[in-house]
């Protein structure tokens, strides 16, 4: 990455500092077994991290809707799948209710969580973002994909594949939701 401006270098140091803070937080959040251990729940989604452990398990947690859906959302993260030069993220989002106006209609992925997910490799100081241009990304259309209360909707996004030595990545679906650590990277 080229340092085009003096401020870009400053942003890089801020990013490195943020990564180090997250790495320090991660040091105390894994259990070493195959059991997912949520460290944040529906009452405090900004509190921390959610770990999937070392196995191929799916991690689940509950967080508040973020945009125009004010109810709780059940989030289920599946292992990442690398095939060729791309890596697929699969997450199911289930609105659980709690929004007097939104519960009676169709609820889009965008209503529950706005923004794009980011995958991070703390050890290698690398981030992976959804492939594509800002308005033409390789992901489920978050506005068109809709569901109703208690029915899951699948969100898929594709990222550049990491190196062969990468076994786990951390996932941020939204900055106000818990970070999901140690999402397994599987290869086909």
Give the pLDDT of residue 6: 38
Q: Is the pTM of this model over 0.75?
A: no
In angstroms, the CA 35 to CA 54 distance is 8
Residue 12 CA, chain-centre distance (Å), reads: 22
The pLDDT score that the predictor gives to residue 58 is 67
Per-residue pLDDT tens for 88-138?
A: 999 999 999 999 988 999 999 999 998 889 999 999 999 999 999 777 889
pLDDT in tens, 41-91: 333 433 455 544 433 446 999 999 887 899 999 999 999 999 999 999 999
What is the C-alpha separation between 54 and 167, in angstroms, rounded? 10
pLDDT band at 30 (very low <50, low <70, confident <90, very high): very low
Best CA proximity match to 127, nearest among 32, 1, 25: 1
* pLDDT for 16: 35
Q: Are 121 and 166 in contact (CB under 8 A)?
A: yes
CA dist., res. 89 & res. 186, Å (int)? 11
Confidence at residue 187, expressed as pLDDT on a 0 to 100 scale? 95
In 3-state terms, what secondary structure has residue 159?
Answer: strand
């Amino acid at each position: 990455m080229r340092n085009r401006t003096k401020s870009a270098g400053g942003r890089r140091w801020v990013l490195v500092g943020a990564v180090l803070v997250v790495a320090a937080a991660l040091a105390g959040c894994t259990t070493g077994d195959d059991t997912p251990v949520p460290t944040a729940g529906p009452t405090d989604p900004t509190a921390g991290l959610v770990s999937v452990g070392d196995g191929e398990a799916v991690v689940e947690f509950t967080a508040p809707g973020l945009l125009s859906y004010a109810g709780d959302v059940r989030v289920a993260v599946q292992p990442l799948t690398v095939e060729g030069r791309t890596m697929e993220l699969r997450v199911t989002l289930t609105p659980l209710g709690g929004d007097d106006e939104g519960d009676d209609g169709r609820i889009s992925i965008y209503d529950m969580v706005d923004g794009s997910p980011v995958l991070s490799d703390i050890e290698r100081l690398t981030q992976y973002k959804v492939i594509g241009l800002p308005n033409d990304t390789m992901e489920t259309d978050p506005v068109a994909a809709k569901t109703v209360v208690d029915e899951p909707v699948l969100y898929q996004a594709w990222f550049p594949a990491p190196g062969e030595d990468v076994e786990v990545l951390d996932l941020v679906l939204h900055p106000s939701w818990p970070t999901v650590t140690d999402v397994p990277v599987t290869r086909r």
